[in-house]
Each structure stands twice: as C-alpha cells, then as structure tokens.
Amino acid sequence: MNTSIATFIKEKRKQLKLTQPELAEKAGVGLRFVRELEQGKQSVRLDKVNQLLDLFGSELGVIQKTD
Amino acid sequence: MNTSIATFIKEKRKQLKLTQPELAEKAGVGLRFVRELEQGKQSVRLDKVNQLLDLFGSELGVIQKTD
DNA sequence: TATTTTTGTACCCTAATGGGTATAATTATG
DNA sequence: CATAATTATACCCATTAGGGTACAAAAATA
C-alpha cells in the first residue's frame, strides 16, 4: 500500500463499520491512541500500532521510500 | 522484505560498515535506542525507527502479515 | 433544522521510552 | 594468546506516550 498508516487504519476501520471506541476496544488499546494515530501522530509506539494492524491481518514492516 | 525491522537495520548497518555509535550519530538518535532496536525491542517509537530507516532510503509501512 | 452519533481537543496522571554514561561481555584483530 | 574494538547490560533521570475522561466540534440522520 502507498497510503499512510493513519489513512490505512481509518479506511480499514470504516470498511468494518466500526467507530473509534469500538476499534480501540477490539484492539485493546486506548481510545486516545486510536484518535491520535488516525490524525497522523508520528511519535507513537510501534507495538501499539501493530496491535491495531493485527485486526486487519497486517503489520508494520520496512518498505522502500517512494520519493 | 520479510526480515524483521531489527535484522534489517543491523544488516544494512553492517553493509555500510558502521558501528552502532556511528549509526546513532548519523541518524540523530541515541546509542541506547539503536541497541535496543537491533535486539528486537517492540515498544519503540515509530518516528525514531524512521529516523534510522531514512538513512537506508526506507521507512515503516503497512505490510500484509505472512502467517 | 433538530437530534443523535461520531470525532477532535484538552486536562490530569502514571509508566516507561530514550538519552547519557559506565562497565561487563563478547568479538575482532595483532 | 593478548589487546583493541564492538556490543550488551545496568544505572539515573527528564520527557512524554498513552490511558481515562470530559466537553466542544463536526458529521450523520430523522
């Protein structure tokens, strides 16, 4: 994917018709974290992001920069 | 890549024949961070990881889980 | 447009990341 | 082997991420 982490999660969440509180609950992370992440906060913890991505069968990995 | 973030950075670093202190210096992160990251620590900050990956023209992105 | 639902912003607080550094352990080199 | 270089572990400490929560703003719906 070429989308940012933020938009990826936001779009996947909507595909499953979940609200932010519901996603946070399912992933076992805080609501604040979901919100900040979807708003593009960079200084987030890697393991927390992976907790969310895991719900979508994905994870963070090294990719080539496209610029 | 299918390698973990830790091994990716460690291998790239060796390709450039850099020591951990040198890599930390170049990336503008602390030495302790480089060490913990190469040892597979999960609860690291995303932006710090990207600071390192940037030296190799790469970054963190969403990938499909291979399991 | 009124009402409900969802999302964004703000606050307090605790736990822990990351920086610096010293020292032990390990590895590479003479 | 002995020595140097690199890496791993351990400590203190300031900053801050993230949880909880309340309320404002925005979006969706009747």
Task: Choose among B67, B2, B9: nearest CA to B36.
Answer: B9
Residue A67 contacts B where some CB pair is shorter than 8 Å: no
**Of A44, A62, A64, which has the smallest distance from its Cβ to B46's Cβ?**
A44
> Would the CB atoms of B65 and A47 count as touching at under 8 Å?
no
**Res B67: pLDDT:** 74
Distance of residue B8 Cα from the nearest chain A Cα, in angstroms: 8
Give dist(CA B62, CA B31) in Å, integer: 27
**Res B1: pLDDT:** 41
Residue B59 contacts A where some CB pair is shorter than 8 Å: yes
**Res A1: pLDDT:** 41
Is the separation of the CB atoms in A60 and B61 below 8 Å? yes
Q: In CATH, which of 1.10.287.130, 3.40.1080.10, 1.10.260.40, 3.90.580.10 is domain A5-56?
A: 1.10.260.40
**Res A66: pLDDT:** 84
For strands B58-64 and A58-64, give the pairing: antiparallel
pLDDT (tens, 9 = 90+) of chain B, 67 residues, equals 456 999 999 999 999 999 999 999 999 999 999 999 999 999 999 999 999 999 999 999 999 998 7
Give dist(CA A49, CA B60) in Å, integer: 11
**What residue in B sits closest to A67 (Cα-Cα)?**
B57
Q: Which nucleotide is nearest to B28 (CA to C1')?
A: C19
- Could you tell me the residue ranges of all domains in chain B? 5-56
pLDDT (tens, 9 = 90+) of chain A, 67 residues, equals 456 999 999 999 999 999 999 999 999 999 999 999 999 999 999 999 999 999 999 999 999 998 7
**Res B50: pLDDT:** 97
